[in-house]
Amino acid sequence: MSGAAKVHLTREHARELMRQMILIRRFEEKCAELYTQEKIRGFLHLYNGEEANAVGVMQALTPDDAVVATYREHGHALVRGLPINAVMAEMYGKASGCSRGHGGSMHLFGAAQRFYGGNAIVGGGLPLAVGLALADRMLERPHVTCCFFGDGATAEGEFHESLNLAALWRLPVLFVCENNLYAMGTALERYESVTDIRRHAESYGIHAETVDGMNVVDVEVAARRAAEAIRAGEGPRFLENRTYRFRAHSMFDPELYRSKAEVEEWKKRGPIVRFTEWTLGNDLLHPDDLAAIEAGVAKLIDDAVAFAEQAPWEPAADLLRDVYAPREATGGAP
């Protein structure tokens, strides 16, 4: 772990980093299983392989900071502190879900945790993050807004508009590009003339770094450094975390754009594999620690599934709740 000397990596901290990554991985695996059983419906975008990014970055944030994520946001929500029962119930579309079952997989939300989505539109969270950061600056609140997005979002106009305004107004935004090399099924070099994504941010005068997104400690070090600079009034910061997703873009993706050999090669240097080898090799964690983490995570997930299974569906009387339409379109219903 190249950044280990730059953070106070105690045994307790190492254990928590491992626990959070394993929690994300096992939650995602359970969701894939439930999807095949048709317990979870609609779209489902899994985060397997990218866990170090959500876990590492979140270490640099405080409860008062804001987080904006993409449609591949289950891991971000869990690490941010949304209750796992409420997240699983939302996956089921149940009324006990964190978005009352209205959003499902792509629209997890937690106001208490300042977690503002879960945004299904590619790049849609970027202008939201700029708005949140602008509000913090205008109200003189010492907060950071962290915005996660994929490499595909860098080809959207709102990416450039958002970075431009953040730089122009020196807003307290931490932009985190989770560059997993594919925008859905299109390889990075097939849609970007400049594949070094960090350079896009630098063109707007934003300090940017490229980070090994498969190394949770390196991600944490970079995120802490960036967050400290933002809190010191130095304007926005940009991290390009080079990572890789082990599963297809979504459950509907036939995955014809890359070889199985490529995926297997990346799995050998996956974030959990690497951190396990390093912590065991440096006597920070022991096999018993890993077994205890796995057992604890398994119980959390089993309990969350049981909660979601028993949770109520939204009553038919509430179907028009939160739906905005002219009164005449609803027969005069409020």
Q: Enter the tokens of residue 88.
A: 């699983």
Please tell me the distance from the alpha carbon of residue 279 to that of residue 290, in angstroms, as a whole number.
10
**Domains of the chain: total:** 1
- The one-letter code for the residue type at 227 is A
Q: Does residue 201 sit in helix, strand or coil?
A: helix
Burial 273-298 (b: 16+ CB within 10 A, else e): ebbbebbeeeebbeeebbeebeeebe
Please tell me the distance from the alpha carbon of residue 5 to that of residue 177, in angstroms, as a whole number.
24
Q: Enter the tokens of residue 159.
A: 């990416």
Please spell the DSSP secondary structure of 121-167, one letter per residue.
Answer: STTTHHHHHHHHHHHHHHTT----EEEEEEGGGGGSHHHHHHHHHHH
| Predicted structure pTM score | 0.93
Collect all residues with Cβ–Cβ distance below 8 Å to 61 and sequence separation of at least 6: 67, 144, 146, 223, 227
**Which of these, 206, 152, 204, 144, lies nearest to 177 by C-alpha position?**
152
Burial 155-166 (b: 16+ CB within 10 A, else e): bbebbbebbebb
Write down the pLDDT at residue 8. Answer: 75
Q: Enter the tokens of residue 271.
A: 């974030």
For 76, phi and psi rounded to 5 degrees? -60, -45
The CATH number assigned to the domain holding 163 equals: 3.40.50.970
Q: How many CB atoms lie within 10 A of CB 242?
A: 19
User: Which structural domain, as residue segments, surrounds residue 35?
Assistant: 4-330
Consecutive 10-residue averages of pLDDT for the chain (334 residues)? 69 98 98 97 96 98 98 98 98 96 95 95 97 97 97 96 98 98 94 95 98 98 98 97 96 94 96 98 96 98 98 88 68 53
Please tell me the distance from the alpha carbon of residue 47 to that of residue 298, in angstroms, as a whole number.
18
Please tell me the distance from the alpha carbon of residue 123 to that of residue 69, in angstroms, as a whole number.
9
Q: Enter the tokens of residue 102.
A: 């209205």
Question: Scanning the structure block, which residue is given the tokens 């995120």?
Answer: 223
Please tell me the distance from the alpha carbon of residue 87 to that of residue 69, in angstroms, as a whole number.
15
Write down the pLDDT at residue 3. Answer: 61
